[in-house]
Structure 1
Amino acid sequence: MKKVAIITILIVLIDQVSKFYIKTNFGLGESMTVFEDWFQIVFVENPGMAYGMHWGGIFGKIALAVLRWVLIGFGVWFIFKNQFKYQSNYFYISMGLILAGALGNVIDSTFYGLIFDSGTTWNEDLQSWNRYYDGVSKANFEGYAPLFQGCVVDMLHLPFFDYTWPDWVPMVGGESGTFFAPVFNIADSAITVGGFILLIFKDKVFREYP
């Protein structure tokens, strides 16, 4: 349990420090090139899930935030219950990464609306997210949205290459795109890596010890 806690705390700290820095130093949509053509810092706000996915408007957002806390609670219980049953580093690392990723993003969606003075908000009249606001946010606890209605801060953009589907491919033939297009954050990365470890090394993750 101690190893999981160390990994979780470390990743959450890195995630939150990076988000606070971006939120208080970049305007929404502002970008900075780190490595030409394939690594950029782009500040966007995400009202939903990992990699920019969202659903259900404000109800979906609140429901998702509550569900995340429930799943985090279940995850902590599962890790605590099985800490002596599964003692491999694969178990500790994967659980720590997934838990950290979940915590990193749920902190944003739960509390950022209360901490910062500006952010992406839900427009009840238009039934859509208002993704435009001026200036750089301040962490002055003035708040821009109620509890559970803050938005997740994303900033990592890795557009490795552009592509065009061959004309003979059904449905998408001739269409162009970019790999990897979504903007994400440290928490998203942690969940993804932890999930891959679970899938690829499942037998080692859940190897039982006497």
Structure 2
Amino acid sequence: MTQPASVEDWQDVEGIEYFVAYLHLLAAEAGAAEHGMGSWRNATIPDFLAAIGTLLAFTQTQIALGNPVFAEPMMTDWWEVACLLSTARHEAPASLPEATTGNLGDAKAVEGLDSLLDYVRWLIGDFRLDAAEVAERTSWNKWDSQGRWAYGVLSNWLGTWAAKLEDAYLKPLPALMIKLRIQRDPVEPVSWRSIAVQLSGARIYE
């Protein structure tokens, strides 16, 4: 297997360790885009998430139309998730359809494409609400800048996603977790739910 050398090499992402490396590549390129370099269309967290949602909604529509190319289950390989993220750099975000499931803010409740799309929609709304609340607080006290989201910048968020996966799944289980029999939320095999779990971790991990 060949480790991806650039964000265009999503097809080389054949395992979780390569996906972590791919996220670091995305984070570096996103950082360049945030400084006016590169060609990212969606260089903020809500825009990037909205583009992911747009791509998922398109897949949802194609499944509903009976297109055999878009038949569930999908996203069963790491390269597919890498391809989704790669495409989201440039996809024009569209208005997302209304929610169809009830557990909008619960990553562990995601069971399929519909509920993952709802979760992405919830993430976008939660990010914007959190940013507004932080802005209001810091207008009174510049030191009160901690929000529910660990990071508000796309490059940091992608890097945090990589760090969460690396720390939680590529390193030995801490002795305390073994002693207390604490289980990690599984991310393999890749599924709609595991993508939601990863997005949830990237939101709060520091």
TM-score, normalised to structure 1, is 0.32
Structure with the bigger percentage of helix: 2
State the structure with more CA Rg. 1
Query: Greater relative contact order (Cα 8 A, min sep 6): structure 1 or 2?
Result: 1
Structure with the bigger percentage of strand: 1
